[in-house]
Chain A
Amino acid sequence: MDGQTRDLPPLTEGLKAASQDELAHAFKEMLRIRRFEENATRAYTRGKISGFLHLYIGQEAIAIGTNLAMREGDRIVATYRDHGFALAQGCDATACMAELFGRSGGLVGGVGGSMHFFDRDKGMWGGYAIIGNHVPLAAGHAFAAKYLSDGKVTICFLGDGAVGIGPTHEGMTLAGLWGLPVVFVVENNRYSMGTPLGRTLPVEDITLRAQGYGMESDRFEVTDPFQVRDRLKVAVDRAREESKPTLIELLTYRFRGHSMSDPGKYRTKAELDGFRNRDPMEMTRRALMELHGVSEDALEAVDEAIIEEMDVAMASADASPQPVPEHRFKNVYVEE
């Protein structure tokens, strides 16, 4: 392992404070997302998946940390880079992969594809692929929660590329004006598709906008899932207890291109290696080994079990039939 010789960053406070069980759970769940995405990559290369495929590799700690900050009944509203959130929320991996394959056993029956994952019972409220147009919807979910006084909090994710578009501004304006119980989380992975932020954002710090919306804000570099959990929890509590929205900017990094058709040539190898060195999932693995004496063999066994799970999921998804022809007529209108 060259990990011994590299200049690795120190373990974070979040990792140090977490119990072995918490670390093991978070590591396993992050690795599940990564192995799922790697299988999706292979399936895409083999022509099993078509259309657009946006991978979450590198950003897993956000979905896991968010899940840990949520309560039953809370809602996730995500972008088209949504597989990680679905898996973190406990959506069935086979159903997720079957959705990518366009099969009847898919999460939404094969009509949605990669960018439109929904699983209401799991708190997975999308899956939106028109940039920014889910921000007013998330505000609407929060409006309903306030109207019904049901205590539910909506956590709405958007990319750094979504902060300039109109619906983002209007949704945040209404959330601030009406004091809606929603948390807006910008996943800043530093590139709006292939365009670095210096060419898309007039002001680098996105959370400066919060002041104009009358919101509290938070901004930090994602180091581990527990830090994400704890910092988000503050905003989730604020939403639930005070009915106030928050704007959070998470600085993160995707290790792959924007989508499968993007080789990511706009980034240097040195930049990529730098971020890989502090990959939150690897940091969590290191914490298990360095702080709790978990052996490499034990972690290897966890990985092998996940690889097995995801391979089975992929095979099961592949065994799921295509939707029946009549299925295209379903759900265009609600029939009474």
Chain B
Amino acid sequence: MAVLQIREAIRDAMREEMLRDDRVFLMGEEVGHYEGAYKCSQGLLKEFGEKRVIDTPITETGFAGVGIGAAMCGLRPIIEFMTFNFSAVAFDQIINNAAKIHHMTGGQFHAPMVFRGPNAAAHMLGSTHSQAFDTFYAHIPGLKVVSVATPKDAKGLLKAAIRDPNPVIFFESEVQYGVKGEVPEDEYLIELGVADTKREGADVTLLCWGQSVAIALAAAELAQEKGLDVEVIDLRSLRPLDEQTIFDSVRKTNRAVVVEHGWPYGGVGSHLIARIQEECFDALDAPVLKVCYEDLPMSYAENLEHLTIPQPSQVLEALEEVSYRG
């Protein structure tokens, strides 16, 4: 197996799909000559030319819409947002056009495409550049939503997302592009909607995705030292959601904690907790807890940002609390 960074795994996924299918193209700010603000498209312009690796002006609603309009004609666009924070100005295109076109037209049209880019807080970017959009997009029927934490998952899921006939929101992270991991040499796809148990355990189920996977795994190590055997489930896909894997785990451990890069109010984590209590109430030995951002706009200052983002130590406290320890 090759060891790649996440940014390289993303580049390889796009490259392989562009080689496989002429209809696939990449469009976004700085994706071509600059090779990506985070270098996820390194070498692609040189290999595929300006027809298929397209630099745009700063016009998120414009190029998101162009992508949707092109997808409706049978092309397979990959639209890169330099950060999902900028997708806020393309929100209408995504929720009103991409998500609804198949339903609204009685099935006459569909939008097979990927919107990808970094999501959630990075490091000291301030409030407008540190938001998690998971909940906003996972809320919308018609969209699929993926969030990746490892190079292997990034490549396999992105290739599957590009081939998916529906619009897929694909979340990456600025602080994780350099994360390294083993990636199979042979071609592989990872099905959307299948969670991955990143660590098996018997005592508590810990749900995470995207940036919170690393926090969860760190917290599980801390818990191990205290004699708690934590099962870490990386959801990978928020829509469709692999509920069966979640419920099976909770019925085994009888306890669950969610760790989330996102705000507490009405979030993905809240949805997970609602579904667990609906389906696994009799199996639960403790209320399901959630560790997430504080309910605040993100501050720039390093110490304040650190306090706002969930830390492994806080997750450990939650794990101990649902286990009636500590």
- Binding partners A and B: yes
A residues with a Cβ closer than 8 A to B are 106-109, 111-112, 116, 118-120, 125-128, 130, 133-145, 147-148, 166-167, 170-171, 173-174, 177, 330-334, 336
Contact (Cβ within 8 A) B165 A334: yes
B166 at the interface (CB under 8 A from A): yes
Contact (Cβ within 8 A) B61 A144: no
User: CB-CB < 8 A to B154: which residues of A?
Assistant: none
- Please name the residue on chain A nearest to B89 by beta carbon: A166
User: CB-CB < 8 A to A126: which residues of B?
Assistant: 105
Given A120-B109, A174-B59, A334-B166, answer yes or no on A144-B65 (Cβ-Cβ < 8 Å).
Answer: no
Q: Give 17 pairs: A residue, B residue, CB < 8 Å, sorted on A.
A: A107-B106, A112-B104, A112-B105, A118-B104, A120-B105, A133-B93, A136-B61, A137-B68, A137-B72, A139-B69, A140-B72, A143-B69, A148-B73, A148-B75, A167-B62, A332-B141, A334-B110
User: CB-CB < 8 A to B72: which residues of A?
Assistant: 125, 137, 140-141, 144
* Set A141, A148, A174, A330: member contacting B63, Cβ < 8 A: A174
B266 at the interface (CB under 8 A from A): no
**From residue 1 to 58 of chain B, which have CB atoms closer than 8 A to chain A?**
25, 51, 56-57
* Set B63, B64, B75: member contacting A147, Cβ < 8 A: B75
Give the complex CA separation of A171 and B92 in angstroms: 14
**From residue 118 to 166 of chain B, which have CB atoms closer than 8 A to chain A?**
141-142, 144, 165-166
Give the complex CA separation of A128 and B75 in angstroms: 21
Selecting from B95-103, B170-178, B249-257, the interface stretch reads B95-103
Tell me the minimal C-beta distance from A8 to chain B in angstroms.
Answer: 43
* Set A143, A167, A173: member contacting B70, Cβ < 8 A: A143
Tell me the minimal C-beta distance from A78 to chain B in angstroms.
Answer: 13
User: CB-CB < 8 A to A138: which residues of B?
Assistant: 69
Q: What is the count of residue pairs linking A and B with beta-carbon distances less than 8 angstroms?
A: 137
Give the complex CA separation of A216 and B178 in angstroms: 47
Given A108-B106, A130-B96, A167-B62, answer yes or no on A174-B57 (Cβ-Cβ < 8 Å).
Answer: yes
User: CB-CB < 8 A to B68: which residues of A?
Assistant: 136-137, 140
* Set B57, B65, B96, B165: member contacting A135, Cβ < 8 A: B65
Given A108-B105, A108-B106, answer yes or no on A133-B166 (Cβ-Cβ < 8 Å).
Answer: no
Give the complex CA separation of A330 and B61 in angstroms: 28
Give the complex CA separation of A133 and B72 in angstroms: 15
B201 at the interface (CB under 8 A from A): no
Tell me the minimal C-beta distance from B281 to chain A in angstroms.
Answer: 27
B residues with a Cβ closer than 8 A to A are 25, 51, 56-57, 59, 61-75, 89, 92-93, 96-97, 102-110, 112, 141-142, 144, 165-166
Which among A107, A171, A333 has the highest number of chain B CB atoms within 10 Å? A333
Give the complex CA separation of A336 and B112 in angstroms: 12
User: CB-CB < 8 A to B97: which residues of A?
Assistant: 128, 133-134, 137
Contact (Cβ within 8 A) A141 B70: yes
Contact (Cβ within 8 A) A173 B59: yes
User: CB-CB < 8 A to A107: which residues of B?
Assistant: 106
Give the complex CA separation of A143 and B93 in angstroms: 17
Tell me the minimal C-beta distance from B33 to chain A in angstroms.
Answer: 15
Extra 12 A-B pairs, beta carbons < 8 Å, given A148-B75, A333-B166, A334-B102: A109-B106, A133-B61, A137-B72, A140-B67, A140-B68, A140-B69, A141-B69, A142-B69, A166-B61, A171-B62, A173-B59, A331-B105
Give the complex CA separation of A177 and B107 in angstroms: 32
Give the complex CA separation of A280 and B104 in angstroms: 33
Give the complex CA separation of A305 and B102 in angstroms: 36
- Please name the residue on chain A nearest to B62 by beta carbon: A170
Give the complex CA separation of A167 and B92 in angstroms: 10
- Please name the residue on chain B nearest to A110 by beta carbon: B106
Contact (Cβ within 8 A) A331 B59: no
Give the complex CA separation of A149 and B304 in angstroms: 54
Contact (Cβ within 8 A) B61 A116: no
Tell me the minimal C-beta distance from A155 to chain B in angstroms.
Answer: 13
User: CB-CB < 8 A to B65: which residues of A?
Assistant: 133, 135-137, 139-140, 167, 170-171
